[in-house]
Amino acid sequence: MHTTNIQTDTRNFLVQNFLFGRAEQLVDDAPLLGKVIDSTGVLELIGFLQEHFEIIVPDEEVVPANLDSVNSITAYVSRKLDGKA
Amino acid sequence: MCGIAGMLHFDGRPADREVLRRMIATLGHRGPDAGGIHADGPIGLAHARLSIIDLQTGGQPMSTTDGRHWITFNGEIFNYVELREELLGKGHAFATRSDTEVILNAYREWGEDCVNHLNGQWSFAIWDSAERKLFASRDRMGIRPLFYTQTPNGFFFASEMKALLASGAVAAEFDAIGMDQVFTFWMSLPPRTVFKNILQLPPAHSLTVSGNQVRVREYWTPSFSRRADAALLDEQEAGKQLLHLLCDATRIRLRSDVPVGAYLSGGIDSTLTTALVRRIAGDRLRSFSIAFHDKDYDESKYQLEASSFLGTQHSCVTCSSADVARVFPDVIRNAEQPIVRTAPAPMFLLSKLVHESGFKVVLTGEGADEILGGYDIFKEAKIRRFWARNLNSKWRPLLLKRMYPYLKDFQRQSAESLKHFFRVTPEDLASPLFSHLPRWELTSRLKLLFSQDFAAQVGNYDALQELQETLPVDFGSWTHLSQAQYLEAKYFLPGYLLSSQGDRMAMAHSVEGRYPFLDYRVVEFAAKLPDRLKLRVLNEKYLLKQICRGMIPESILRRVKQPYRAPDSRCFFGAGAPEYVKELTSAASVGKSGIFDPQAVGALISKFTAEKANSVKDDMALVGVLSSQILAREFVNP
């Protein structure tokens, strides 16, 4: 999957799921955890990544470096998909 | 317990009896037993009575024997017996056995300082016909409500805002700042309400109207400070004093000419209150509780254990999600402000049970968590501070999991994600609002739903900043627990628990709640206790648990504390969902009320209908939207 698609799909999910459709509230390199995504939201995000991109997100990879912004999520998913391929 | 209303014309025009009748008619649920109106020149006082003390001669509005002072009063003065004796000794005359007349004579004796002599729960207004002055007051903890509005020509007051709206002196229009506060703190900051030009008298405040001048002053404040009282450092002595005070607070709260019952939640506080009632009154007591079909919320096992242990005759109402949905519009009509959780709805059903059982008065355990250190938010703040001392600790964040065993999703969190939700930044650590920041920041996210126009009305207003500016000057020197307790007791308790979940839900069915833990002597005593007797490491209400031993079942004493909660969003979707959900969240309806963005609400509803909403924030957003839309329909655009 192309990086642009990963970014677009992730953005759409975050905007619909956490921002009540308010796309202007989401900046691609701004921190998400504790700001856009609340405590149980992390589980929703992981559920989405696993289901939508068909990847496995093990506990040890649930770290800010992978999930704390649209850009970091995009990079993380790209790496996972590359690895899988 | 009653409903009160009144008006004072500044320009000398006579008070309008018809307007007074309209106002008091909206408060019939607060006082169905009798009613009265006193109009004399520019002053008009109205009263709807729930007869509890001095059933024969306690009618209102009431005057002093010489007719100079007139009062309309909602509430109870529990030390009226002692005050009456004292005032008789000072030469005051009494024509009744009521606590109402005690307030009148206390005002004659001590003037505005009379409130410092009262132990009770009140809102009242006294008219001095000689000085042409109106004096109104609200109890220390904010148990009873008092709202008012001022126009160029007059001053209007009432127990509930709907009576002010019925007067025609003010029209319902949402106050964007008040709404912003509700979507931050779950309540508006007094004197503000969610309606423009309608104010509430803050707890522990009095008000005078003289000429066309309204003056408001604080007469009491919870007295937390930096150091605990040295005399209370000894655990045994402190426990003895606490028990003695609680016994006396309960004893005077049993003063009533009608039978008194008790709420049993299955927790320590209400079980102890009930145990004290049994110990003092001795006779077989009636107790009442809420059970839930949904096991996640149900505490009936413990309620029945408490009832059996204390030998009460127990009645229980079992509440389903459908019940919550069914009564929700009535709940909001009574609460008169948006809510973000449905927890008041079962309380509404409980007061109905009490009313149908023939009871008007119940004692409850409300207040113990605030004053004696029971809430999870106190522990949570302690853990976050502990963690901040070693941010890389792997196990410190896991302490948070111990706190919320009843939250399944929470238990599935990794330490890393917990760390980010409960993040501790140096700025947060330095904030006087530290303990409450996660709760308020989470709630604030719901403001994303506001429409552009509504958000523009809020502008750059910062609710946290306003709250911070009202804190006592020495707040920064208090212990962290005292700071958190103050925020709970001063704001959340009166603004939400005692109103939306308390007075309004009980009075909807003509039921009066009485709260021994909120006797001001108990509150002042608790404020002087050392923190380790309240929250010992992570053991909440430590001292209270010590004095409970032997008085309540061991199983209740040992159980993990479970906060009172009710099912939220699941009530409003799926089979049997109420029709009003679709109607109130339609783009047309949302656009008409103007508070929320129709598309944003649409996105929220889609998430629920697709069964993809499962976060606390989504639940709160839905309940917040529905309750605001109901308010709009009921009051703003009827």
- The reply to whether A58 touches chain B by the CB within 8 Å rule is no
DSSP class of B447: G
Question: How far apart (Å, rounded) are the C-alpha atoms in residues B428 and B432?
Answer: 8
Encode burial over B220-240: b for 16+ CB neighbours within 10 A, e otherwise.
bebebeeebeeebeebeebbe
The CATH number of residue B183's host domain is 3.60.20.10
- The reply to whether A40 touches chain B by the CB within 8 Å rule is yes
- The reply to whether A39 touches chain B by the CB within 8 Å rule is yes
CB of B327 closer than 8 Å to CB of B369: no
Beta-carbon separation of A20 and B448 below 8 A: yes
Which pLDDT score is estimated for B527? 94
Within-domain flag for B452? no
Our CA-based measurement puts residue B622 at a distance from the nearest CA of chain A, in whole angstroms, of 11
- Please say if the pLDDT value at position B397 is more than 70: no
Structural domains counted in chain B: 4
Residue that wins the pLDDT comparison between B392 and B590? B590
Which pLDDT score is estimated for B540? 94
Beta-carbon separation of A20 and B413 below 8 A: no
Nearest to B220 by CA among B283, B332, B141, B128: B141
Reading the block at residue B247, the tokens are 């016994």
Within this chain, do residues B302 and B404 fall inside the same structural domain, yes or no?
no
Which pLDDT score is estimated for B47? 97
Residues 6+ apart with CB under 8 A from B139: B75, B118, B120, B121, B122, B123, B203, B204
Q: Categorize the per-residue pLDDT at B140 as very low, low, confident or very high, splitting at 50, 70 and 90.
A: very high
Which pLDDT score is estimated for B412? 67
Question: How far apart (Å, rounded) are the C-alpha atoms in residues B42 and B40?
Answer: 6
Instruction: Count CA atoms closer than 13 A to B428's CA, side-chain side.
Output: 18
- Please say if the pLDDT value at position B393 is more than 80: no
Nearest residue on chain A to B411, alpha-carbon basis? A40
User: Average pLDDT, stretch B22-40?
Assistant: 94
Reading the block at residue B152, the tokens are 């160029």
Nearest residue on chain A to B439, alpha-carbon basis? A38
Within-domain flag for B619? yes
Domain that holds residue B611: 569-636
Within this chain, do residues B56 and B119 fall inside the same structural domain, yes or no?
yes
Query: Which residues of chain A does B410 touch, with a Cβ-Cβ cutoff of 8 Å?
Result: 39-40
Q: Dihedral (C-alpha) B115, B118, B121, B126: value to the nearest 10 degrees? A: -50
Find residue B290's DSSP bridge partners.
B317
Q: Categorize the per-residue pLDDT at B408 as very low, low, confident or very high, splitting at 50, 70 and 90.
A: low
Within this chain, do residues B499 and B593 fall inside the same structural domain, yes or no?
no
Within this chain, do residues B143 and B76 fall inside the same structural domain, yes or no?
yes
Within-domain flag for B11? yes
Within-domain flag for B307? yes
Within this chain, do residues B73 and B147 fall inside the same structural domain, yes or no?
yes
User: Average pLDDT, stretch A13-21?
Assistant: 89
Q: Which of A20, A22, A42 sits opposite B413 (nearest CB)?
A: A42
Dump pLDDT digits (tens) for B173-215.
999 999 999 999 999 999 999 999 999 999 999 999 999 999 9
- Please say if the pLDDT value at position B300 is more than 70: yes
Within this chain, do residues B40 and B58 fall inside the same structural domain, yes or no?
yes
Residues 6+ apart with CB under 8 A from B540: B369, B373, B374, B375, B378, B379, B534, B561
- Please say if the pLDDT value at position B616 is more than 90: no
Q: Which of B414, B599, B615 sits opposite A44 (nearest CB)?
A: B615
Beta-carbon separation of A44 and B614 below 8 A: yes
Within-domain flag for B141? yes
Q: Categorize the per-residue pLDDT at B414 as very low, low, confident or very high, splitting at 50, 70 and 90.
A: low
Nearest residue on chain A to B610, alpha-carbon basis? A17
Q: Categorize the per-residue pLDDT at A85 as very low, low, confident or very high, splitting at 50, 70 and 90.
A: very low
Within-domain flag for B301? yes
Beta strands in B69-140 (DSSP E): 69-77, 120-128, 133-138
Pick from B417, B449, B481: which residue ends a domain?
Answer: B481
Query: How many other β-carbons are positioned within 10 Å of the β-carbon of residue B249?
Result: 25
Within this chain, do residues B16 and B56 fall inside the same structural domain, yes or no?
yes
The CATH number of residue B316's host domain is 3.40.50.620
Nearest to B74 by CA among B9, B149, B13, B163: B163
Encode burial over B362-375: b for 16+ CB neighbours within 10 A, e otherwise.
bbbbbbbbbbbbbb
Find residue B510's DSSP bridge partners.
none
Query: Which residues of chain B does A17 touch, with a Cβ-Cβ cutoff of 8 Å?
Result: 607, 612
Query: Which residues of chain B does A20 touch, with a Cβ-Cβ cutoff of 8 Å?
Result: 448-449, 597, 600-601, 603-604, 621
- Please say if the pLDDT value at position B519 is more than 80: yes
Residue that wins the pLDDT comparison between A33 and B531? B531
Within-domain flag for B223? no
Report in angstroms the alpha-carbon separations of B22 from B16, B37, B495: 10, 11, 27
Q: Which domains, from first to last, does chain A contain?
A: 3-14+29-84 (1.10.1200.10)
Q: Whose structure tokens read 């649209």?
A: A70
Say how many Å lie between the first and final Cα of chain A, rounded: 10
Within-domain flag for B453? no
Q: Categorize the per-residue pLDDT at B422 as very low, low, confident or very high, splitting at 50, 70 and 90.
A: low
Query: Which residues of chain A does B422 touch, with a Cβ-Cβ cutoff of 8 Å?
Result: 39
Pick from B188, B218, B248: which residue ends a domain?
Answer: B218
Our CA-based measurement puts residue A81 at a distance from the nearest CA of chain B, in whole angstroms, of 23
Which pLDDT score is estimated for B401? 72
Query: Which residues of chain B does A68 touch, with a Cβ-Cβ cutoff of 8 Å?
Result: 420
Q: Apex CA B129: angle with CA B123 and CA B133, to 5°?
A: 55
Nearest residue on chain B to A24, alpha-carbon basis? B448
Q: Whose structure tokens read 């009896």?
A: B17
Within this chain, do residues B188 and B254 fall inside the same structural domain, yes or no?
no
Within this chain, do residues B575 and B535 fall inside the same structural domain, yes or no?
no
Within this chain, do residues B619 and B493 fall inside the same structural domain, yes or no?
no
Within this chain, do residues B365 and B503 fall inside the same structural domain, yes or no?
yes
- Please say if the pLDDT value at position A31 is more than 90: no
Nearest residue on chain A to B418, alpha-carbon basis? A39
Phi/psi region, residue B550 (left: phi>0; alpha: psi -120 to 50; beta: rest), is left
Q: Which of B413, B445, B448 sits opposite A39 (nearest CB)?
A: B413
- Please say if the pLDDT value at position B24 is more than 80: yes
Dump pLDDT digits (tens) for B88-121.
999 999 999 999 999 999 999 999 999 999 999 9
Within this chain, do residues B575 and B548 fall inside the same structural domain, yes or no?
no
Pick from B190, B218, B246: which residue ends a domain?
Answer: B218
State the ipTM, two decimals.
0.78
Q: Which amino acid is residue B139, in one-letter code?
A: D
Question: How far apart (Å, rounded) are the C-alpha atoms in residues B3 and B28?
Answer: 7
Nearest residue on chain A to B444, alpha-carbon basis? A35
